[in-house]
Structure formats: structure tokens, C-alpha cells
Structure 1
């Protein structure tokens, strides 16, 4: 049985996100979460979707309101 893993980029800034996600993808993890309590999380999500949208599912964690769901979607998160 294969169990999916999610790479959680907690506390990562947008300037760090792409490099860290590259290492996560190299390890074979194709689902990436950016918690909304991270620094500028929507920008991180935008950059990750731009860089890896064809190779990874990028989403958010610590989503607490419907408005946050809309913001994540607008940033390209799935």
C-alpha cells in the first residue's frame, strides 16, 4: 500500500519556498502545503504554482474561513 505524504512548508518565506519545494519534489513528494500562518503565504503559493503547478499539487493549511479558501484559490492553490 502506498501512503501519500504532504510536504508542509511551515514558516517558509516566499523567497525560500521554491528552493525548498524543489528538494521536496526531488524526494518524490508531490503534494505541498503552505500554512496560512506562514510569512506571506499567498505569495509563496503563487510562486510554487508558477514553478511547479504541472508537477505538484499546491495547497494551504490552517485555513479557517471561507474568505481564506477564496484567497488560496485566487493564488492558484488547489
Structure 2
């Protein structure tokens, strides 16, 4: 689920991952939360990416294969 790593507070139950506690950079979950929330969404993305690389987290994505898009300038009318 993408929700698991979208908000750091959603990770409180993931105690066995070794992201906080003895032998880590964070003494406890609250220390982990403070550090991640202080640094914003980018920090959480890095945590999720690291977890994926180490096989600790699976986040499935839809393929963008064959997707095409165009960037259009759409003028606004006075109604908007």
C-alpha cells in the first residue's frame, strides 16, 4: 500500500524494520518522526526509496508504457 509510507506517522507499527531504536540514528519512533517531519515530503520519499532498495517495502506502480500526453495552454475566460 502506498499509504504505509506516505505519512511517517503511519509507520508506528513497523517497529521491526530497524528504522529507529538501538543501533540506529533515531533512539525511538518519536525521534524518527521529528526528523522526518522536519525535513518534509522529500525525506519520507528517501525513507521509502531506501526501504524498497533493501527489500523492506513493496510499492506497486502502474506502468506508463504507451502513455502519451500533451501540454496545452488553455485560456481562461472571465467566468473563472
Question: Structure 1 length as normaliser, TM-score?
Answer: 0.27
Higher RCO structure, 1 or 2 (CA under 8 Å, sep 6+)? 1
Higher strand share: 1
Which structure has the larger Rg over C-alpha atoms? Answer: 2
Question: Structure 2 length as normaliser, TM-score?
Answer: 0.27
